[in-house]
C-alpha cells in the first residue's frame, strides 16, 4: 500500500511539474502589483519551480534566502519530531507551550 502511494505521488509530481509551467498558475505578488517594488519573498515561487526542475543555481538567483531556508526548516522539523517522538499528546502540547 505504501509503495503504491509513493509511486502515485512520484507520477503525479512528474505530470504536474513537467506537464505544464507551474508559475503561470501561481498567484502574483500583491506587494509588487501595488507598489512596483519587490518584497523579500519575491522570486520564491520561481525559486521553488526552479528547484523542482533541478536548477539549483537558477533557484539561488531568484531567492537565495528560500534556498538556504528549506534545508534549515526540514532539519528543525526533524529535530522537533525526534524530541517529541515518545511523548503523549498532553506532553507534546506542554512541550510546545514551554518552548
Any domain includes 13:
no
Model confidence at 11: pLDDT above 90: no
C-alpha cell belonging to residue 49: 519551480
Any domain includes 67:
yes
Model confidence at 47: pLDDT above 80: yes
- Say if pTM beats, i.e. exceeds, 0.85: no
The radius of gyration computed from the CA coordinates of the chain, to the nearest angstrom, equals: 18
Contacts of 62 (CB under 8 A, 6+ apart): 43, 44, 46, 47, 50
Model confidence at 19: pLDDT above 90: no
Model confidence at 64: pLDDT above 70: yes
Q: How far apart are the first and last CA of the chain?
A: 37
Any domain includes 10:
no
Any domain includes 51:
yes
Any domain includes 59:
yes
Range of the domain at 84: 26-98
Q: How many structural domains comprise the chain?
A: 1
Any domain includes 90:
yes
Any domain includes 84:
yes
Amino acid at each position: 500500500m505504501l509503495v503504491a502511494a509513493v509511486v502515485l505521488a512520484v507520477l503525479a509530481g512528474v505530470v504536474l511539474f513537467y506537464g505544464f509551467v507551474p508559475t503561470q498558475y501561481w498567484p502574483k505578488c500583491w506587494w509588487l502589483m501595488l507598489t512596483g517594488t519587490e518584497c523579500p519573498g519575491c522570486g520564491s515561487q520561481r525559486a521553488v519551480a526552479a528547484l523542482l526542475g533541478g536548477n539549483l543555481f537558477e533557484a539561488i538567483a531568484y531567492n537565495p534566502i528560500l534556498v538556504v531556508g528549506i534545508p534549515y526548516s526540514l532539519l528543525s522539523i526533524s529535530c522537533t519530531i525526534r524530541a517529541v517522538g515518545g511523548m503523549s499528546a498532553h506532553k507534546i502540547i506542554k512541550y510546545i507551550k514551554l518552548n
